[in-house]
Amino acid sequence: MGCGHVGSELAVRLAADGHDVRVVDRDPRARRALPAHLAGRFHTGSGFSRRVLEEAGIGHADAFAAVTTSDSGNLVAARTARETYRVPLVLARTHDPARADLYREFGIPVVAGTHWTVRQFHRLLLHRHLEPEASFGGGETLLVRSGLPGWLAGRRLAELEVDGEIRVVEVSRGGRSAVASRDAVAEPGDLVTFAVAATALERLRGFLDRELGT
Across 147-172, average pLDDT: 88
Residue 211 pLDDT level (bands cut at 50, 70, 90):
very low
| Domains 5-126 and 143-209 belong to one CATH topology | no
Given a cut of 50, whether residue 115 has pLDDT beyond it is no
- 118: helix, strand or coil: helix
Alpha carbons 137 and 140: distance in angstroms, whole number: 6
119-129 pLDDT, tens per residue?
A: 767 766 765 45
The more confidently predicted of residues 47 and 1 is: 1
151 has pLDDT over 90:
no
What are the boundaries of each domain within the chain?
Answer: 5-126, 143-209
**Mean pLDDT of the region 63-73:** 91
- What is the per-residue pLDDT across 3-31, written as a single tens digit (0 to 9) for each? 998 899 999 989 988 899 999 999 999 99
> Tell me, what amino acid is at 20?
D
- CATH number (3.30.70.1450, 2.70.98.60, 3.40.50.1100, 3.40.50.720) of 143-209 reads 3.30.70.1450
The CATH fold of domain 5-126: Rossmann fold (3.40.50)
Minimum mean pLDDT range among 26-35, 102-111, 112-121, 169-178: 112-121
Percent of the chain residues past pLDDT 70, beyond the cut: 88
Helix (H) or strand (E) holding 9: helix 5-16
Instruction: Count CA within 13 A, CB hemisphere, residue 133.
Output: 11
Global pTM value = 0.60
Provide the 10 A C-beta neighbour count for residue 179.
Answer: 10
Give the pLDDT band of residue 175 (cuts 50, 70, 90): confident
Question: Which of the pair, 48 or 68, is modelled with greater confidence?
Answer: 68
